[in-house]
Structures are given as C-alpha cells and as structure tokens.
Amino acid sequence: MDRIGLRCRLLKAQAEAGDIVLLFGDEPEALTHPYLAHVWARRGADLRIPAPGQAAKVAMLGVLDWAARELVVQTSRTKRSTDFIALLEQIDTQYGLTPDQAKKPVVLVLDNGPIHTSKATRAALAERAPWLTVEWLPKYTPELNDIEELWRDLKQHHLAHQTFAGPDDLDCAIHEAVRMLNRERHRHPLANHRIAA
C-alpha cells in the first residue's frame, strides 16, 4: 500500500477511536436535466426522458464525517472560494468549534482544486489552523476520497431520471436526498428484520 493509502488508514483508525474528526470534502454539480443511471428497457425500446429548456447547475459543497457516517451539504448556484468558505463556517457551527476551543482536532481531506487553493480559502484554513489540519490528496485520485461514493449514490439513486423545473426544485431534491442518505446510514442494520422466535 502506498504512503497516502497508509496515511488514510491511520486517520480512519484515529477517527474510529474518537481521537479526531475526519472529514472528506468535495464539490460536484447536479443538473436540472436528468442524470441517466443504468436502467432496464425492452430490447429495441427507445428510452426517453423529457428535458425541456436549458439545463441549470447546482453545486453541492459537502463533507463526509467519516466516523459518524454523516454527509453535510451546502448548495450554491456558483462554485467559488466564497462558497467553500461558507461550508467551513457551517462546519464551525455544526461541530461547535471556535478558534480558541475545539472539542477535538479536525482533519479535512481535500483535493488540490482551485476552490481549495485560492488565497481566500488558504486564509480561511489558516484561521482554523489551531484545530483544523488539511490532508491534501494527490491530483487525480478520487478513489482516495470517501465522499465520492456518496455523491455517486446520491446521483444514481436519488436524482436520476428526473427533470427538475429549475435550480430551486433541484436544490430541495438535493437536501431531501442528503436527509435520506444520512437516515439510511444511521439506521441499525437489523432494524428492518424480524427475528424469528
């Protein structure tokens, strides 16, 4: 296993032990026009999903709390440093963190995208340096970012095969999908199974 993979395993062990909060961050986009996932159709059938008008984008800025298995998402019509800084402020609030008193250290895993490396973002990260450490992923390694699987699940199972009337409808659907994903991930694995007597 390479050095980065070993580092990720160590961080996950620390998060599982409750020593740190481990967050994986990323910012994909969703479209008002349908995301087409794998579907079944009769042989020769032409599968069509109406997509009138021009597609609009909604950026999903999010972090995955690895140990709690919770997805925190903020949506925006843009994907700029100011949007990412707003996500950092949401993390501050959600985890009850202040620069002078953190409950436990936070490690944020990020790629080297421009939204993360701008001057404004670096300044915002530096302000949080007493309790926030950034682990930078190598370029083009989405397989090392655990949030990627959740984005795929959200698009394939919650947003697929739908046309949204506009960005506001898509925004609502994204937040509802995140609530459903978080509920599913917190449900006890045996909660829906009956135990035979």
Q: What is the mean pLDDT of the chain?
A: 86
Beta-carbon contacts of residue 65 (< 8 Å; ≥ 6 apart)? 21, 22, 23, 71, 72
pLDDT above 70 as % of the chain: 86
Higher per-residue pLDDT: 190 or 25: 25
pLDDT at res. 197: 43
Q: For residues 147 and 161, is the Cβ–Cβ distance under 8 A?
A: no
Query: What secondary structure letter does DSSP report for 157?
Result: I
Give 190's pLDDT tier (boundaries 50, 70, 90).
very low
pLDDT at res. 39: 67
Mean pLDDT of 42-46: 81
Give 4's pLDDT tier (boundaries 50, 70, 90).
confident
Give 1's pLDDT tier (boundaries 50, 70, 90).
very low
- What residue has token string 């506009």? 166
Q: Look at residue 170 and tell me whether its pLDDT is greater than 50.
A: yes
Whole-number Å distance between alpha carbons of 154 and 173: 10
Does the pTM surpass 0.75? The reply is: yes
pLDDT above 90 as % of the chain: 54
What does the pLDDT look like over 6-35, one tens digit per residue? 888 999 999 999 999 999 999 999 988 877
What does the pLDDT look like over 73-108, one tens digit per residue? 999 999 999 999 999 999 988 876 665 555 788 999
Q: Helices 119-127 and 81-94: crossing angle, nearest 10°?
A: 20
pLDDT at res. 29: 93
Q: Is 80 helix (H, G, I), strand (E, B) or coil?
A: coil
Mean pLDDT of 133-139: 91
N residues, the chain: 197
Q: Look at residue 109 and tell me whether its pLDDT is greater than 90.
A: yes
Superfamily of 3-33+52-186 according to CATH: Ribonuclease H-like superfamily/Ribonuclease H (3.30.420.10)
